[in-house]
């Protein structure tokens, strides 16, 4: 995963979700996650996933990056379902829940800069944990750039050792070892800089107020999805026979939005 793609989308995006307040987006994410947790109908969970997928073209997010990352938890959930699920329907529910929860989290991080995601957590976690989250954000970009240079060097050196996998593996191991030493040195230098600059007890991040209208629409959509999940869970005897309508409606909306974005890039 190229974290720079995520950060570029979060910082440079102009959709209503990007303009919404971080607290509103975190609240909407919590509502969607609760909808996934309480749902026991696989069609409802699939409908939730399709509803979240609508946001990808609507908010002009990088489609390939979002959906490929959302598929990773589904792979691990499929392995777990194969080993532990009593039947195929339950296994499908496990996979659908994993993919839907991952998609909700990805929509959050692709529309919210990293510091704004973790800043509210500073109020509930120890100061050293919250500060470590913020400093890790910066370090990841430095390490990603360093790793890119090391990868180029490995390709050049292994090219000289073509046909000799042992030499190529040795060059790769040396590069990864150098990256590990660089990361240790980087963390020590960052700590020393903070101490010299008078680091006290906490790094402060000021959250932007955000667009109230955008936040209201986002919370309204999340509340609607949560209401559908609760209704089907409580009145499953009556609503289960009609649960197919939810994913069908979500799929139709996804097709409409995708075609609209395709015709008006």
| Interatomic CA distance for residues 177 and 143, integer angstroms | 13
Residue 71 belongs to domain spanning: 3-119+208-263
Q: Evaluate whether residue 203 is within a structural domain.
A: no
Q: Report the share of the chain in percent with pLDDT over 90.
A: 38
Q: How many domains does the chain have?
A: 2
* 93 and 19 within one domain: yes
Q: Evaluate whether residue 202 is within a structural domain.
A: no
Residue 260 has pLDDT above 80, yes or no: yes
pLDDT of 168 reads 66
* 113 and 46 within one domain: yes
Q: Residue 162: pLDDT band by 50, 70, 90 thresholds? A: low
* 214 and 190 within one domain: no
* 50 and 32 within one domain: yes
Last residue of a domain, one of 138, 173, 196: 196
Give pairs for 206-210: CB < 8 Å, separation 24+. 207/21, 207/22, 207/23, 207/116, 207/119, 207/120, 208/21, 208/22, 208/116, 209/21, 210/19, 210/20, 210/21, 210/22, 210/23, 210/24
Q: Report the share of the chain in percent with pLDDT over 70.
A: 88
Among 112-121, 151-160, 214-223, 256-265, name the one with the lowest average pLDDT: 151-160
Whole-prediction pTM: 0.79
Question: pLDDT of 95-139, one tens digit each?
Answer: 999 999 999 999 999 999 888 887 777 777 777 777 777 777 767
* 131 and 114 within one domain: no
Q: In terms of pLDDT, which residue wins out, 6 or 133?
A: 6
* 213 and 180 within one domain: no
Q: In terms of pLDDT, which residue wins out, 108 or 198?
A: 108
Angle at 164 between CA 160 and CA 170, to 5 degrees: 80
Q: Evaluate whether residue 30 is within a structural domain.
A: yes
């Amino acid at each position: 995963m190229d974290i720079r793609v995520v950060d570029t989308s979060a910082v440079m995006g102009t959709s209503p979700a990007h303009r919404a307040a971080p607290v509103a987006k975190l609240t909407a994410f919590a509502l969607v996650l609760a909808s996934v947790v309480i749902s026991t109908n696989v069609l409802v969970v699939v409908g939730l996933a399709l509803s979240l997928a609508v946001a990808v073209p609507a908010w002009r997010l990088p489609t390939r990056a979002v959906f490929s990352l959302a598929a990773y938890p589904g792979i691990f959930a499929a392995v777990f379902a194969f080993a532990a699920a009593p039947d195929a329907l339950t296994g499908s529910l496990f996979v659908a829940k994993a993919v839907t929860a991952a998609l909700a989290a990805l929509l959050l991080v692709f529309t919210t800069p990293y510091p704004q995601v973790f800043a509210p957590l500073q109020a509930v976690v120890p100061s050293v944990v919250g500060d470590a989250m913020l400093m890790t954000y910066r370090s990841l970009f430095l390490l990603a750039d360093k790793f890119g240079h090391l990868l180029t060097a490995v390709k050049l050196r292994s090219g000289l050792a073509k046909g000799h996998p042992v030499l190529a593996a040795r060059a790769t191991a040396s590069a990864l070892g150098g990256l590990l030493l660089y990361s240790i040195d980087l963390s020590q230098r960052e700590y020393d800089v903070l101490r010299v600059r008078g680091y006290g007890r906490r790094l402060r991040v000021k959250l932007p107020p955000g667009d109230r209208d955008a936040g209201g629409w986002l919370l309204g959509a999340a509340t609607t999805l949560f209401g559908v999940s609760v209704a089907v869970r409580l009145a499953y005897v009556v609503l289960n026979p009609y649960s197919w309508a939810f994913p069908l409606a979500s799929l139709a909306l996804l097709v409409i939005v995708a075609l609209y974005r395709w015709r008006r890039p």
